[in-house]
């Protein structure tokens, strides 16, 4: 019996490592994941007199007279810059802008295929907070929105806060807002599985980085009682006597508002008797122990979302008694991944020309994502839809767009149906283009490389 169990574990581990092996082969084969292709017709070279000189001068003159026409005459309306300094890439840490490029290209691919958004990776050769802020500001004429990505804390907080206030286009940090909204959506449905209430649950949050700090904010805004949260960083639990945190404003605020009983210690102590654990910390496995899950309350929820490897393998968490288990990976059930959120959020924000993306818009997106699975379809191994359920993206887009209109931060006052069907058309077109290019072998098959 033990021998069979060991063989099963070996198979699971081999399957978990397979994506990394294939990724190296295919990245080398395709030499990148995105490229620029025309969206206008070119019947013959005479058309360039329209698309370029001399005809384009008339368009430039119109935009000079009315800068808002740039949204009508160019692709700015559908363009997002993915800006990173490579200081916190996935679970790999500070590996630099060049090493961060494959991630940013992957993000651009997801934007296009899932949201119909044209996104461009821009990895900066600077780690200076002020230089990053200035760079984003001077990029504004070319883009309809900015996606900040993989920027280390604590500077990611002021960078986002300043840019949200001072930019005229929406700026969002996916590691904060994207992770938070998808986690909230998963948590809403996980609570339905275990029949527990949002305002009553006790939550251990492992890792006090940008993601978990933003998750805690959205959880509280949605109804979680702050006193019922215990957060853990590399030095232990956060509480009102952790005076070492005073220079880190976001952590200090949490230390004052959470952990009402001043639980001290580390992950083990934080998890004891809690209803849920939300971990976005150090890649595992082995960061969270099976016996710590056994010491949680009845039917615990376990979200272990470190990348590329969760803090504990999902099968181990289930063996320890977890009722609902989620990770950040697509090869396990219940993927808590930003890719379920940002394509739809930006589709909606761009389509109504929102000036920013608020916490209320993120909560609206989370609620809509959770509703994409009917209550009678929610199961312990299905608390969220997957990327295959592509209609979630126009639904999120429409919900976010309508919320932006209600908050009076949208230029275009569109209703739900207008946004939904517009987003659906754009996304279907994007997927169809990719499928056509594959059929025509403009995107070559890589079967023999796997």
- Number of continuous H segments (helices) and E segments (strands) in the chain: 17, 10
Q: Block means of pLDDT (10 residues each) for the chain, length 450 residues?
A: 60 74 89 93 94 96 97 97 94 91 96 97 97 98 97 94 96 94 98 98 96 96 98 97 94 96 97 98 93 98 93 96 94 93 98 97 98 95 94 97 98 98 97 95 85
Q: Report whether 122 contacts 76 (CB < 8 A).
A: no
Residues near 245 by Cβ (< 8 Å), separated by ≥ 6? 238, 251, 252, 255
- Is the four-CA dihedral 196, 388, 423, 109 of positive or negative sign? positive
Distance CA 200, CA 380 (A): 20
Looking at domain 29-175, which of 3.40.50.10380, 1.10.30.50, 3.20.20.70, 3.40.50.1110 is its CATH number? Answer: 3.40.50.10380
What pLDDT, on a 0 to 100 scale, did the predictor assign at position 4? Answer: 56
Cβ burial of 4 (10 Å; 0-12, 13-18, 19+) is exposed
Closest listed residue to residue 272, CA positions, set 259, 255, 286, 254: 259
Residue 330's pLDDT is what? 84
d(CA 7, CA 435): 38
Please identify which residue in the block is written with the tokens 């007199």.
49
Q: Are 227 and 202 in contact (CB under 8 A)?
A: no
Which pLDDT does position 12 carry in this prediction? 67
Separation CA 76–CA 64 (nearest Å) = 15
At residue 303, the pLDDT reads 98
The pairing of strands 324-327 and 301-304 is parallel
Q: What is the pLDDT of residue 90?
A: 80
The pLDDT value recorded for residue 14 is 72
Virtual torsion, Cα 112, 383, 15, 391, nearest 10 deg: -30
Closest CA to 86 of 32, 190, 156: 156
What residues have CB less than 8 Å from 67, skipping those under 6 apart?
A: none
* Sign of CA pseudo-dihedral 182, 187, 190, 192: negative
Domain ranges of the chain: 29-175
SS3 content of the chain, % helix, strand, coil (to 5): 55, 10, 35
How many CA atoms lie less than 13 Å away from 364 in the CB half-sphere? 22
Residue 449: predicted pLDDT: 72
C-alpha distances in angstroms, 61 versus 58, 66, 75?
5, 9, 17
Place of tokens 């009076």: 408
Q: Is 125 helix (H, G, I), strand (E, B) or coil?
A: coil
Q: Is the dihedral of CA 233, 234, 239, 244 positive or negative?
A: negative
Go through the chain and tell me how many residues it has: 450
149 — phi, psi (to 5°)? -145, 135
**Using the 8-state DSSP alphabet, how is residue 283 labeled?**
-
Q: Is the dihedral of CA 168, 173, 176, 177 positive or negative?
A: positive
Q: What are phi and psi of 365, to 5 degrees?
A: -65, -40
Catalytic residues: 52, 107
């Amino acid at each position: 019996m033990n021998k069979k169990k060991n063989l099963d574990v070996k198979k699971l581990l081999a399957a978990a490592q397979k994506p990394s092996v294939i990724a190296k082969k295919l990245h080398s084969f395709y030499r990148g994941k995105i490229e620029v292709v025309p969206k206008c017709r070119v019947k013959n070279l005479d058309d360039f007199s329209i698309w370029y000189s001399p005809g384009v001068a008339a368009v430039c003159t119109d935009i000079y007279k009315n800068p808002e026409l740039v949204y009508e005459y160019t692709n700015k309306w559908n363009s997002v810059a993915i800006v990173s300094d490579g200081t916190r890439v996935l679970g790999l840490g500070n590996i630099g802008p060049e090493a961060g490029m494959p991630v940013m290209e992957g993000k651009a691919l997801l934007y296009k295929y899932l949201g119909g958004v044209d996104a461009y990776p821009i990895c900066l050769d600077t780690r200076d907070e002020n230089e990053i802020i200035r760079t984003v500001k001077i990029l504004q004429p070319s883009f309809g929105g900015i996606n900040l990505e993989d920027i280390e804390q604590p500077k990611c907080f002021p960078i986002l806060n300043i840019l949200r206030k001072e930019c005229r286009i929406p700026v969002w940090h996916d590691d904060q807002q994207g992770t938070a909204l998808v986690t909230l959506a998963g948590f809403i449905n996980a609570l339905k599985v275990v029949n527990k209430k949002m305002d009553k649950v006790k939550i251990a949050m492992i890792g006090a980085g940008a993601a978990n700090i933003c998750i805690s904010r959205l959880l509280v805004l949605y109804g979680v009682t702050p006193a019922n949260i215990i957060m853990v960083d590399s030095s232990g639990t956060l509480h009102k006597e952790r005076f070492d945190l005073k220079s880190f404003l976001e952590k200090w605020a949490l230390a004052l508002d959470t952990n009402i009983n001043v639980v001290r210690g580390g992950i083990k102590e934080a998890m004891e008797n809690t209803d849920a654990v939300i971990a976005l910390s150090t890649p595992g496995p082995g960061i969270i122990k099976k016996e710590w899950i056994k010491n949680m309350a009845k039917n615990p929820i376990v979200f272990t979302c470190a990348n590329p490897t969760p803090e504990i393998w999902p099968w181990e968490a289930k063996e320890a008694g977890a009722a609902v288990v989620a990770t950040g990976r697509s090869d396990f059930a219940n993927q808590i991944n930003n890719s379920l959120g940002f394509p739809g959020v930006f589709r909606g924000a761009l389509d109504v020309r929102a000036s920013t993306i608020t916490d209320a818009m993120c909560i609206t997106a989370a609620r809509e994502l959770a509703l994409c699975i009917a209550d009678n379809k929610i199961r312990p191994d299905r608390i969220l839809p997957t990327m295959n359920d592509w209609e979630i993206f126009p639904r999120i887009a429409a919900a976010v767009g309508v919320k932006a209109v209600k908050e009076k931060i949208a230029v275009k006052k569109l209703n739900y149906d207008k946004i939904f069907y517009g987003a659906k058309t754009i996304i279907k077109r994007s997927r169809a283009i990719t499928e056509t290019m594959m059929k025509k072998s403009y995107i070559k098959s890589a079967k023999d490389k796997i």
